[in-house]
Amino acid sequence: MKMRKVFNWQLKRRVSYVYPQSRPKRQWAMIFDLNKCIACQTCSLACKTTWTSGKGQEYMFWNNVETKPYGGYPVAWDLGILSKLKAQEWRGDKYFGKTLFEAAEKDEKILQHISEDEDWAYPNIGEDEISGMVNRGDWIATLPHRIWMFYLPRTCAHCTYPACLAACPRKAIYKRPEDGIVLIDQSKCRGYRECVRSCPYKKSMFNVETRISEKCLGCYPKIEQGEMPQCVTNCIGKIRLTGFVSTPDNSRKDNPIDYLIHEKKLALPLYPQFGLEPNIYFIPPIHVPITFQEQMFGPGVGKAVETYKNIKDDQTLKGLLVLFGSFEKILHSFKVDREHAYGFDEKGKEIINVPVTEPIYVRDVFDKDLKAYRHNTP
Amino acid sequence: MTKILKHIDTTHPRLGSEVKMVKKTICFLFCLLIFIPSAHAERRRFVEVVSHRLDMDVSKVGLDTEVWKSINPYRHPLQEQFLEVPKPVEVGVKEIFVQSIHDGKHISFRLAWKDETKDDSIGLMNFSDGAALQFPVNKEELPEYFMGEEKKPVHILYWKAWRSKDLRDGFQTTKSAYPNMTTDIYTFDYPVKGKGTEKTQAEKDIFIPGKAAKNPLSFPIKGIIAELSATGPGTITFKNIENTSGDARWENGEWTVIFRRPLTVKDSESVQFKLGEKMPVAFAVWEGSRMESAGRKAVSPAWAEVEVEK
């Protein structure tokens, strides 16, 4: 079939896609700081109680949190497609390998890994499992850790070049021009499951009760009200931020999303080599070996980890990270001064300010008035 | 080739003395099929099915009615759908046997094909066995035989094995698909009664997106055959009428399915059969265990024809 060429800035080259390039006016994007996720699953349940509490949705987690290296929902979704794509080449920060569209088998649109029913039945498999055996006498002395694990929260990436949309024979999947959110038209879908087969991140899901497919909505009704999604505002670890990402040439330094992705290159896309230009971005964990992470987040991981380690000397970055999880509204711009970080809405109105460093109060161990010792036990 | 012609010699009821001429024609068309891969419908219409006129109520003829034994089935070859990506590399069903009868009011088609696996249960990645008959709405302006064309719609009669199981055992649900599943509570499905717990089905259905969006796939239909129209690949829509009834059975590795409907109906977008005339028809079959769905299907190599006996 005739493939089109579209520009993928994450791979720094033109890639194959089913449709011609058509970027939305602005693009929904989410950033996760993986150093802070504790896999409490509050995001998963915030999403579940909001969107997938109905019949046929029992197994669905539009938002899930899995433990790497072994966890995955559905089981081995990533290993499945990676082993099909095989080793591919980056040269510097430019991708020379094949994307999933470019590696498609004959008479297929995209290379696919198909998850079986049972793969969806263990949403938290591999939880807290560490990468290898702990030896007697082991202790954590250096970064990265010799034995490690980390949590990976995931939603639909509302890709710039969505596989689900490209695969749908009915054009029942569309990408909203106003915010780039990708939706399945529930009145048009016929349950062919081409999207379920094709999405490499496995975020299109089939509902056996309605016999059609569903996916994460990016909480578009909240986005339309200028608010961040449920999984973001309910995150107790304050690891998430939602906003709009620009292309690198249009990056705005005062846009918190652009600042983290383009200016500081601290937040990186998940499996950019798939070629879909996904719009969920991860701040890589500093304790995990770089080689493992490069496969997930591309060649920028090493620098991102260094940037994160030096964050204490970067007032702007430090300030921006404390803005995470402090409010419900979408931030369109931010600024940081010596003491505070400020967030502004689309009209430039201040909607939040927080101290960059929380004040610390030290009290005496013995309270003379109460004649009692203060314990530091939680 | 000789084998096919022999088969036609013995199975075609109308050949008789005309067999030589038909052989020539078939040879010519067969060569066309091999050497001209384009899908121009007019040139590639090569199979003819006769719908025999009988003096009986065809609307009441079932799968096992004696009459089918006296009607020779036409072997109809199927091939991989080859026009739209994704195209299947191979398909599970490579031939079907077609019989047709009518009584001047109703017409019935009986399709039979080998399929070792019965795929009629719903599941996340279970795909249904299925079969479809496709007719042009206006045969004078015949569209490409595959799903019609813009302004040249086709009328499709679509049977899905899921629907047969629905009809027999009740509309399949998550619980019937996964009986060991447990759920605490569904929204608005309160286990206790009291103020605020009385919710209508429509209120509960708000939490079931397909139903809330009124997608016809999410609701039971009366029979097992859905009527659809299309004006090209990917354009299927429900006609919201049910003039076609059917029966289906899987036994000993074979599906037998009946599609029956009135020869003529009021709806101008539906197929209308006229006595003594030929109507183009195309077939499609899906083999669920091979995950065949949408364009991943076995199709007629071109328009065939059904001649409605006077």
Q: What is the dihedral of CA A343, A348, A350, A355, to 10 degrees?
A: 30
Does residue B188 lie within any of the structural domains? no
Domains of chain A (ranges, CATH numbers): 4-297 (3.30.70.20)
- Give the domain range for residue B284: 41-171+220-308
Contact A169 B210 (CB under 8 A): no
pLDDT band at A292 (very low <50, low <70, confident <90, very high): very high
b/e for A206-216, b at 16 or more Cβ within 10 A?
A: bbbbbbbbbbb
Does residue B131 share a domain with residue B3?
no
SS3 (DSSP) at A6: strand
Query: Taking CB atoms and an 8 Å cutoff, what residues of chain B touch A48?
Result: none
* Residue listed under structure tokens 């299907």: B297
Cβ–Cβ below 8 Å for A189 and B214: no
> Same domain, yes or no, for B234 and B289?
yes
pLDDT at B146: 87
Residue B275 located in a structural domain: yes
What's residue A1's pLDDT?
A: 81
Confidence of residue B195 (pLDDT cuts 50, 70, 90): confident
With beta carbons less than 8 A apart as the criterion, state whether B29 and B35 touch: no
Output the DSSP codes for chain B.
Answer: -HHHHHHHHHH-TT-GGGHHHHHHHHHHHHHHHHH--S--TGGG---EEEEEE-SS-GGG--TT-GGGGGSPPEEEE-EE--SSSS--SS-S--EEEEEEEE-SSEEEEEEEEE-SS------TT----EEEEEEESSGGGPPPTTT-BTTB-EEEEEEEHHHHHHHHH-S--HHHHSTT---S--TT--SS-STT----HHHHHTTSHHHHTT-GGGS--SSSEEEEEESSTT--EE------EEEEEEETTEEEEEEEEES--S-TTS----TT-EEEEEEEEE-GGGT--TTSSEE-SS-EEEEE--
Q: Both B10 and B54 in a single domain? A: no
Q: Read off the pLDDT band of A196 (50, 70, 90).
A: very high
- pLDDT for B43 equals 45
Phi, psi of A109 (to 5 degrees): -85, -35
**Residue A284 pLDDT more than 90?**
yes
Please state whether the peptide bond connecting residue A200 to the residue before it is cis, i.e. omega within 30 degrees of 0: no
Instruction: Read off the CATH number of the domain in which B281 is found.
Output: 2.60.40.1190
Sheet architecture: strand order including A27-33: A240-245, A27-33, A280-283, A268-269
**Residue B124 sits in the same domain as residue B243:** yes
B18 and B45 housed in the same domain? no
Q: Please give the average per-residue pLDDT across A279-288, as a whole number.
A: 98
Which among B127, B209, B294 has CB closest to A169? B294
| Confidence bin at B39 (pLDDT 50/70/90) | very low
At residue A145, what is the residue type?
Answer: H
Q: How confident is the model at residue B24 (pLDDT cuts 50, 70, 90)?
A: low
Is residue B193 situated within a structural domain? no
Give contacts of B89 with chain A, Cβ < 8 Å: 106-107
Percentage of chain A exceeding pLDDT 70:
99
Query: Are B54 and B28 found together in one domain?
Result: no
> Based on the domain organization, do B231 and B289 belong to the same domain?
yes
Q: How many domains does chain B have?
A: 2
User: Which range, A188-197, B41-50, B194-203, has the best average confidence (pLDDT)?
Assistant: A188-197
Which residue is closest to A50 within chain B, CA to CA? B207
Q: Are strands A372-373 and A366-367 parallel, antiparallel or unpaired?
A: antiparallel
Confidence of residue B221 (pLDDT cuts 50, 70, 90): confident
The closest CB to that of B86, out of A107, A120, A212, belongs to: A107
Tell me whether strands B304-308 and B48-53 are parallel, antiparallel or unpaired.
parallel
Q: How far is it, in rounded angstroms, from Cα B284 to Cα B297?
A: 7
Of the candidates B162, B181, B212, which has its C-beta nearest A58's C-beta?
B181
Flag whether B89 is in a domain: yes
Does a structural domain hold residue B187?
no
Answer yes or no: do B46 and B70 share one domain: yes
Identify whether residues B30 and B91 lie together within a single domain: no
**Do B15 and B96 fall within a single domain?**
no
Tell me the two tokens of residue A14.
């033109």
Question: What pLDDT is stored for residue B34 in this prediction?
Answer: 46
Same domain membership, residue B148 and residue B126: yes
Which of B174, B190, B219, B296 to probe by mutation at the A interface, max A CB count within 10 Å? B174
Is the residue at B15 inside a domain?
yes
In this prediction, residue B40 has a pLDDT band, given cuts at 50, 70 and 90, of very low
- The pTM is what? 0.90
Q: Is the CB of A54 less than 8 angstroms away from the CB of B209?
A: yes
Residues B132 and B264 in one domain: yes
User: A107–B173: do the CB atoms touch at under 8 Å?
Assistant: no
- Give the 3-state secondary structure of residue A280: strand
Lowest mean pLDDT among A306-315, A316-325, B178-187, B292-301: B178-187
